[in-house]
Structure 1
Amino acid sequence: MARTYTHEQLAQVIKAYDVRGVVGTDIDAAAVQDMGAAFGYLLRQEGETQVVLGYDMRPSSPELAAAFAKGLQSQGLAAINSGLTSTDELYFASGSRNCAGAMFTASHNPAQYNGIKMCRSGARPVGWDTGLSAITELLVKGIPAYDGTPGELSSQEVLADYATHLRGLVDLSQIRPLVVAVDAANGMGGHTVPAVFAGLPVDIRPLYFELDGSFPNHEANPLDPKNLVDLQKFVVAEKADIGLAFDGDADRCFVIAEDGTPVTPSAICALVAQRYLQKYPGATIIHNLITSKSVPEVILENGGRPVRTRVGHSFIKDSMAKEQAVFGGEHSAHYYFQEFWNADSGILAAMHVLAELGRQDLKLSELMAKYLRYVPSGEINFTVQDQQGAIAAVLESFGEQIAETDELDGVTVQLKGSAAWFNLRASNTEPLLRLNAEAETAEKVAAIVQQIHKVIASSN
C-alpha cells in the first residue's frame, strides 16, 4: 500500500533548494523511492528519458540512491548509477550527457543526515519553484501510476571524464611546481583530487582523504573556522605553497595561504573574476550582495560588468543564465562557471588559484594582498523572535549615519563617509537574523557589530 504524506511532514525535509533530513527519522528508503517516482513523473511529462545518479561516502547513500532509482524506473525513466561522486562531478555527468541528475548527499551536515540535490538536463537546478513544490504536491495527492515498460538500470563511472574535462578548462601543465596541502575532511575531495591532479606539477599532501561518512576527524564544513585549524597547521608543517579545504560533497573549496592564514572566499572571487575578464574582456560576473566590496571593484577595474544578486545558489544560477555571465561567486565559497553549465565547482575554482599562483614567483599571501581591501565580520547569527522589529530598531539606531539602504535581500545599509556597510537578513527557517558587515578597519567592523548586538539584545 502506498505511503501517504502531509505537507507538514514533507516541509521537514523538502527545503528551498534540496531534500535533507536525518536518516531513519526524517527520511528513509521508502520515502526516497516515492520522491524518485514523483521526480520521474515530472520529467516524463517534460520528455526526459533518463537520470544520472551519484552519491557521497555516507553509509546511507548507496541505499537511498538505489531506492530513488527504483522510483524513477517505475515511471519509465532509465537510471544511470555513477556510484561515488562529488556533487560537481554529478553536475558534469548531467551536463555532458544533457540529462537530469540526482546527487545523494547532505553536504556539510553531520553524519546522521542525508539528502538529494536534483537537477534537470544540463545541470539546471531544481529548487522549490522549479520542481520541489510540484514533487511535494505529487507526494501528498498521489503519483499517477505508469503502465508502460519500466526504465532500465545501468552503471557508468564518470571520474576519468570529469578530470579530463576540468584539466581542459584550466591548463596547469606549465605552472611552476607547487606543494598543495589538501584537507578532504573524509569527504569526496579524497575521491576527486587525486584524479584531477594526476600527472600535473602539483605535489599533493593529503589530509583526511579516507572516505568516511562518520567524519572521524572534524565536520566537513570549512565555513566554520574550527574545521580549518588542522589544515592551517598542516600547511605550515608541510611548507606548502597553498592549502585547500573541501566540504563533504566537495562542491565548495576554502583556501589557506602558505603562512596558515585563511583567504576569504571574496578574495578568491575577485582573483578568478580577473582571470575570466582577461580571457573574456567586458564579460559579466555575478556576485551575491554579501561578498566584499572588493569583488565589484576588481570587476570594474578590469573592464567587466558586475551584477549583484540575492544570497543562495538558485539566485546565482538563475542570474548566470539570464545575464550570460562567465563566472559567479558567493561569500560561502560556492563558485559558478558558465563553461561548467553554470554549476558550482570547488575544485575548478582551486585550479584557477593554482594557475595564477603557479605562473609567478609570489607567495599566495602576497598574490592575494591586492584583493584583501576591507575587513569582513563574517556571518553572525542573532536569535530574534520579531525579526522585522529588530531590523527597524537597528536602522533607527544608525539614523543619520546611513547614506543609503536597499532591500534586495533583507536590508543592506551603506554608511556615510566610509566604505563601511552591513546587511541584515531574516532566516526563512529559523528565528534568526544574519548579520554581515565590512569596513576599512577591524575597529570599524567591531563598532558596527557591537552597536547592532546592543540594539538587538535590548529589543528582544
Structure 2
Amino acid sequence: MIKANIFRDYDVRAIVPQELDKKGAIRIGQVLVNLFKPKTVAIGHDMRITADEIAGGIAEGIMIQGANVTDLGLISTDMAYFASGKYGYDLALSVSASHNPSEYNGFKVVKKGAIAISGNSGIYDIRDLALSDEKFIPAKKRGILSKRDIYDEFIKHCLSFTNLKKIKPFKVVIDAGNAMAGFIIPKFEKYLPIKVIPLYFKLDGNFPNHIPNPLLPEATSDLKKEVLKKKADFGLAFDGDGDRMYFIDEKGKLVTGTITTAMISEMILRKNKNKTILYNAVTGKIVPQIIKKYGGKGIRVRVGHTLIKEDMRKYKAYFAGEHSGHYYFKENYYADSAFVAMLIALELISEENKTLSEITGKYDIYPSIPETNFEVKDKEKVMKNIEKHYKSKADKIDWLDGVTIWFKDWWANIRPSNTQPLLRLNIEADNNEILIEKENEFTDLIQQLGGKKTKE
C-alpha cells in the first residue's frame, strides 16, 4: 500500500498501514536504489510503534536491489544528517513522522553531505516511480546489513559548538513528550553542569501524555506548570524526532522561534563578525534588526527545511533560524539540529547572568499571533484578492513565500500549505492594539473570501 498523498515537498508522512504498509515501504526502498544509485544507505528511526515495519521495509527493499544498509537504530532526525555528513553515506534516512500523532510514520532522506531531497529534487520522482507499474529486478548480489552506534561521535560534534566551562549549573525541566529527546538528553547530561528534571522521558510511540508538538498549547502546559512548581531556571520542549526545541522561561512563558533565532544570531555574531544569517519569511522583524546591530548580513528566505538547506549553501550562510523551531548551522553540514541550538543558547544564557525572561525581554518587543490556518478552496485566488485589497495602501507587498503585506507598524504573511487546502496567516505589529485590530481584519477578510478558520 502506497498512497500518492503521503509525498510532500519536504518529506513523506503517512497513516500506517492505511496509506503506507510494509510492502509499500519495501517498494520505496527499491525505488530509492533505482533512482539515486546508492551503494551505501544509513537508516535510523524514532520510537514510533511502526518503526520496525517502515524502517525495516525500506531497508529490505534497498538490500534487495543490492545496496548496503547501515542500521543506526534509535536516532533523532538531526543524527541522520550528521551521519550523512560525517561518514559519507550515499543516502541517509530518518524514519519518523516528527510531531504527528501515533498512527503516522514517514521519512526524511538526504544525499551525501546532508543535501536534502525535496519535491524539487526527487521526492515526487520517488512517488511517481513507486506508484508506477514498473517491476524491479532484484540485484544478483543482495546488499549487506550492518549496525553502527554514532552517539559518541554525534555528542562530541554537538559539544564542539559551545564552551562547556561557561555553562552554569541551571535547573532545567525538559519535556521529551515520550519521544526521542528522552533517549538522547541523558547522553548529554554527563558532560553538562545542568540539573535536568525529566518530564515524559520514557519512550512510548503511543504518546500517552501529549502529542510531541511544542507549538500546541496543550503540549507544553505540563512543562510550564513543572517549571513554576520546581522553581526551575527554565524549561525545554522537544518535538517527536528531536530536531526542534523551544524554551519556556522561568515564568512559564513560551519563547518563540523568532526570539530564539535572534538570541542565537547574537551569540554567533559576537564570536563571528560579518557572517551571513538566514531567516524565513514569517520570522519576526527583531531578527534582521539583531543581525544588523551585531554586524551580520541577514537574508530573508522561504519557509521549509529543504529550501533553507539549499539557500544555506547558495549564500554560504553561517546560521539560519525558522519560526517553527528549526535552527541550521554551516558547521553542522548546513543542516538543522535542536541539540546544537540548545547548547549555544545555554552558553548565551549563562553569559548574560540574567533570568531567561530578562534576556528574552530585549527581543520580545513585537507582539504576534500564533500561526493561524484557514481552509480555502482556491489558495491562489484568495491570496491574489488579499493583495488587491491592500495594494493601494501598503508600503510594500512581496511574494517571496505566499504574499506578505508590509506597513510601517505591522506586517502580515499569508502562505499556502503545500499539501492541504490551507492558507497560513502570520501577523506581527508594533503593539497589541494594532495586532488585535489586524488579526480581526484579516480573519474577516479571509472569511469573506470563502475561508474557514481551522485548528489543523
TM-score by length of structure 2 reads 0.95
The reply to whether residue 142 of structure 1 matches residue 130 of structure 2 is no
The Cα of 1:279 is off from its aligned counterpart by 2.4
Q: Structure 2: which amino acid aligns with 1:164?
A: K
The reply to whether residue 223 of structure 1 matches residue 215 of structure 2 is yes
- Contact 2:387–2:403, Cα closer than 8 Å, also in 1: no
The Cα of 1:236 is off from its aligned counterpart by 1.0
- Contact 1:186–1:212, Cα closer than 8 Å, also in 2: yes
2:454 counterpart residue number: none
Q: What SS does the corresponding residue of 1:150 show, helix, strand or coil?
A: coil
The Cα of 1:253 is off from its aligned counterpart by 0.2
The Cα of 1:397 is off from its aligned counterpart by 4.0
Q: Structure 2: which amino acid aligns with 1:61?
A: A
The Cα of 1:129 is off from its aligned counterpart by 1.8
Deviation readout 1:303-357 (Å, 9 max, x if unpaired) = 1111111111111111001111010011100111111111111121111111111
Distance in 2, matches of 1:428 and 1:102, equals 22
1:233 counterpart residue number: 225
2:168 counterpart residue number: 176
Q: 1:67 to 1:387 in 2, by over 3 A?
A: closer
Question: Which stretch of structure 1 is more off in the superposition, 254-263 or 356-365?
Answer: 356-365
1:430 counterpart residue number: 420
1:370 counterpart residue number: 362
Distance in 2, matches of 1:348 and 1:237, equals 28
Q: 1:39 to 1:143 in 2, by over 3 A?
A: farther
The reply to whether residue 421 of structure 1 matches residue 411 of structure 2 is yes
Distance in 1, matches of 2:55 and 2:434, equals 49
The Cα of 1:427 is off from its aligned counterpart by 2.2
1:455 counterpart residue number: 445
Please show how residues 283-362 of structure 1 align to structure 2 within 5 Å. 283-362=275-354
1:37 counterpart residue number: 30
Q: Structure 2: which amino acid aligns with 1:134?
A: D
Distance in 2, matches of 1:284 and 1:203, equals 34
The reply to whether residue 111 of structure 1 matches residue 122 of structure 2 is no
Question: Which stretch of structure 1 is more off in the superposition, 349-358 or 139-148?
Answer: 139-148
Q: Structure 2: which amino acid aligns with 1:220?
A: P
Q: 1:71 to 1:275 in 2, by over 3 A?
A: same
- Contact 2:200–2:209, Cα closer than 8 Å, also in 1: yes
Q: Structure 2: which amino acid aligns with 1:60?
A: T
The reply to whether residue 54 of structure 1 matches residue 47 of structure 2 is no
Distance in 1, matches of 2:146 and 2:293, equals 50
Please list every run of 5 or more consecutive structure 2 residues that lacks an aligned counterpart in the other structure: 451-456
Q: What SS does the corresponding residue of 1:412 show, helix, strand or coil?
A: strand
Distance in 1, matches of 2:438 and 2:167, equals 43
The Cα of 1:136 is off from its aligned counterpart by 2.3
The Cα of 1:175 is off from its aligned counterpart by 2.1
Q: 1:391 to 1:132 in 2, by over 3 A?
A: closer
Q: What SS does the corresponding residue of 1:119 show, helix, strand or coil?
A: strand
Q: 1:17 to 1:388 in 2, by over 3 A?
A: closer
- Contact 1:384–1:433, Cα closer than 8 Å, also in 2: yes
The reply to whether residue 124 of structure 1 matches residue 111 of structure 2 is no
Q: 1:219 to 1:147 in 2, by over 3 A?
A: closer
- Contact 1:49–1:77, Cα closer than 8 Å, also in 2: yes
Q: Structure 2: which amino acid aligns with 1:347?
A: F
The Cα of 1:61 is off from its aligned counterpart by 0.3
The Cα of 1:458 is off from its aligned counterpart by 2.2
Please show how residues 83-102 of structure 1 align to structure 2 within 5 Å. 83-99=73-89, 100-102=91-93
Distance in 2, matches of 1:324 and 1:143, equals 42
The Cα of 1:146 is off from its aligned counterpart by 4.5
Distance in 1, matches of 2:273 and 2:11, equals 35
Distance in 2, matches of 1:87 and 1:426, equals 25
Alignment match of 1:17 (pick from 3, 7, 10): 10
Question: Which stretch of structure 1 is more off in the superposition, 128-137 or 50-59?
Answer: 128-137
Question: Which stretch of structure 1 is more off in the superposition, 253-262 or 146-155?
Answer: 146-155
The Cα of 1:264 is off from its aligned counterpart by 1.1
Distance in 2, matches of 1:329 and 1:76, equals 39
Q: 1:38 to 1:143 in 2, by over 3 A?
A: farther
Question: Which stretch of structure 1 is more off in the superposition, 157-166 or 208-217?
Answer: 157-166
Q: What SS does the corresponding residue of 1:375 show, helix, strand or coil?
A: coil
1:382 counterpart residue number: 374
Provide the alpha-carbon RMSD of the alignment. 1.5
Distance in 2, matches of 1:353 and 1:420, equals 28
Distance in 1, matches of 2:166 and 2:380, equals 54
Q: 1:195 to 1:133 in 2, by over 3 A?
A: same
- Contact 2:161–2:343, Cα closer than 8 Å, also in 1: no
Deviation readout 1:150-188 (Å, 9 max, x if unpaired) = 111001111222111111222223322111110000000
Distance in 2, matches of 1:19 and 1:154, equals 25
Deviation readout 1:115-174 (Å, 9 max, x if unpaired) = 011111121111122121222232214254254321110011112221111112222233
The Cα of 1:399 is off from its aligned counterpart by 5.4
Deviation readout 1:227-252 (Å, 9 max, x if unpaired) = 11111111111111111000000100
The Cα of 1:261 is off from its aligned counterpart by 0.8
Distance in 2, matches of 1:344 and 1:254, equals 14
The Cα of 1:373 is off from its aligned counterpart by 2.1
Distance in 1, matches of 2:82 and 2:230, equals 32
Question: Which stretch of structure 1 is more off in the superposition, 288-297 or 371-380?
Answer: 371-380
Distance in 1, matches of 2:21 and 2:370, equals 35
Question: Which stretch of structure 1 is more off in the superposition, 341-350 or 101-110?
Answer: 341-350
Distance in 2, matches of 1:143 and 1:374, equals 56
Distance in 2, matches of 1:112 and 1:425, equals 27
Q: Structure 1: which amino acid aligns with 2:255?
A: V
The Cα of 1:383 is off from its aligned counterpart by 1.9
Question: Which stretch of structure 1 is more off in the superposition, 123-132 or 317-326?
Answer: 123-132
1:273 counterpart residue number: 265
Deviation readout 1:341-384 (Å, 9 max, x if unpaired) = 11111121111111111123200111111111211112111122
- Contact 2:9–2:418, Cα closer than 8 Å, also in 1: no
The 4+ residue runs of structure 1 with deviation greater than 4 A are: none
Q: Structure 2: which amino acid aligns with 1:362?
A: K
The Cα of 1:391 is off from its aligned counterpart by 2.9
The Cα of 1:40 is off from its aligned counterpart by 1.7
2:453 counterpart residue number: none
Aligned length: 448
- Contact 1:37–1:143, Cα closer than 8 Å, also in 2: no
- Contact 2:12–2:107, Cα closer than 8 Å, also in 1: yes
Q: What SS does the corresponding residue of 1:54 show, helix, strand or coil?
A: strand
Please list every run of 5 or more consecutive structure 1 residues that lacks an aligned counterpart in the other structure: none
